[in-house]
Amino acid sequence: MGGPVATLTVWDYVVFAGIVLGSSAIGFWQSLRSRKENTSEEFLLAGRQMHAVPVAMSLTASFMSGITVIGTPAECYSYGTAFWLFCLSYAITATVTAEIFVPFFYRLGTTSVYEYLERRFSKSVRVLGTSIFIIQMSLYTGLVIYTPAIALNQISGMDLWGVLVVTGVVCIVYCSLGGLKAVIWTDAVQLLIMLSGFCAVIAKGAELQGGVARIWQDAADGGRLQPIDFDPDPLKRHTFWSLVVGGSTLWISIYSINQAQVQRYNACKSLTHAKMSLYVNLVGMVATLSLAMVCGLTMYSVFMKCDPLTNKDVGTSNQLLPYLVMDILAGNPGVPGLFVAAVYSGTLSTASSSINALVAVTVEDFIRPAWPSLMEKQLSWINMSLSVFFGFVCIGMAGVASLMGGVLQAALSIFGIINGPLLGLFLSGMFFRTTNSIGALTGLLVGFILTMWLGIGAQIYPPTADKTNPLPLSTVHCNISILVSTLVRPAVADHWYSLSYLYFCPLGTVCTLAVGLLVSIITGRPLGPKVLFQAIISILFWKSSNTPKENNEKLANIGALFSYIKIK
């Protein structure tokens, strides 16, 4: 085994084009149905009339995408099944987001989640929060566009940058013509295509290897089915604590305060539908992750005696799954095309979601406040023009993403570095009355600088093998040519820069909260038991079944009670 594999056939291209064009046509049809209501709210929030199930599928597709299709099996292949613990993180995330954040943001009724920051703090905090989000989503979407380019480059021989540009242009056309409703319905179809791609690889692998039981046994023999590691060492890449504590914080930051996700459940027709979309989404996320992990175990079973990465058959771990597809499915015309469609579908769903969110925050946080008299027709043209602009920005960012190594860890690192401080900012505003504008701004800047320093340092000086714990790979059945390079490492690289990437988010959250409160205490009123009790009780008494008036009355009564008993 090893060496070059077949490339796509005519039938593969037919299947690929048919699936992608067919799923996209559904979205365009939805957008055409809404043309008579050509308003900014219709474009950005689907008229706030969406049901729970399509929104749930869109939530899953938006952040599981092509990165999951390629990155998660590669993660399982190299590091085993520890990543499966993310299912527990997903459950915690769905519950916290649905019961605390969804009622809060749904009742605000805003298009941009960052409008809350101006209401709570100041215009400068809102602008800074929006700017950080734009940087984050531009880089992340570049990574998303880069992902299918890897697959097509590996199994078609097409030029990598040529694929990047073509992918970006398709996304631009797709986003500028359709609105959020088109994005949501297309996401729902494309999620099914992604799952079908996984099933095709698993089914063929099981056929070749003699059944799923053989795949499972090979995984056990190769050390892929490791027991849960409860080591509290924060420098170890994946442990129970990093995956559940760090992972939960990371995914809460993605689902609770990220514009792309909040925009979706705010598009639901009622609060009940919005909350239900999170719980249905949980089922989709667990199913997607589980299929991706089994796909990774299948890949290990096939390649356990000849690792393509060590043998230089592929350039990066991101090309392992495309290589497997062409190795085992080339004799089934059309099936490799299904896999490429799965990766591409994930890219289109995520890129369209991200670009739509970037347009939303730009219009609501920068353009509307500056030119409040704009007509709906003018806003419509601005929305489409910004979709084109951000599409080209993301193509440029794809070049940066190509330098970031494994796509899965890179994507989660980006969210941890940026979403951690943003989550701390929102939490300090929602639950701590003491935090003022100066404290919020300072806390966000310090938290962002800290996580950026950590993230860039970890990229330059990656943690060593004793921290990441890669599992052994065999090359006994193939010829190898290994080139080993070394990099002089400063002392800080083996400690600070070796912190698990899953702790980037909680570190940024805690730092932003702590610095924000400290600066607010120095520049404003002191933090006393009254403030802490008000924060705790406001959480306990905030029920999703209550109307805004009922919640406001409860909080007013609680405040009156505190004033009466004069807690200091």
Beta-bridge partner residues of 268: 50
User: 3-state DSSP call for residue 85?
Assistant: helix
| Range scoring the smallest mean pLDDT among 176-190, 200-214, 247-261, 434-448 | 176-190
Separation of alpha carbons 445 and 511, rounded Å: 10
Most confident segment among 137-141, 166-170, 185-189, 462-466 = 137-141
The Cα diameter of the chain in Å comes to 80
Which two three-digit tokens encode residue 197? 């791609």
Contact 194, 342 (CB under 8 A): yes
Tell me which residue of 72, 62, 40 sits closest to 351, measured CA to CA: 62
DSSP state of 405: S
The conformational region for residue 53 under phi > 0 = left, psi -120 to 50 = alpha, else beta, is alpha
Q: How far apart are CA 295 and CA 325, in angstroms?
A: 11
Tokens standing for residue 212: 């799923």
- What are the beta bridge partners of residue 50? 268
pLDDT tens digits for range 284-293: 889 989 999 9
- Tokens 């009123």 belong to 525
Please tell me the predicted confidence (pLDDT) of residue 563: 43
Map tokens 């993180």 to a residue. 89
Can you tell me whether residue 369 is helix, strand or coil? helix
Residue with tokens 């892929």: 224
Q: How far apart are CA 164 and CA 403, in angstroms?
A: 14
3-state secondary structure 234-296: CCCCCCHHHHHHHHHHHHHHHHHHCHHHHHHHCCECCHHHHHHHHHHHHHHHHHHHHHHHHHH
Task: Please state the φ and ψ torsions of residue 268, each to the nearest 5 degrees.
Answer: -70, 155
Give residue 47's pLDDT: 59
Whole-model pTM: value is: 0.81
Q: How far apart are CA 460 and CA 9, in angstroms?
A: 40
- pLDDT tens across 147-181, in order? 777 666 666 666 667 767 776 677 666 666 656 66
Q: Fill in the amino acid letter for 521.
A: I
pLDDT of 65-112, one tens digit each? 677 788 889 889 989 899 899 999 999 999 999 999 988 888 887 778
Sign of the C-alpha dihedral, residues 336, 339, 345, 348? negative
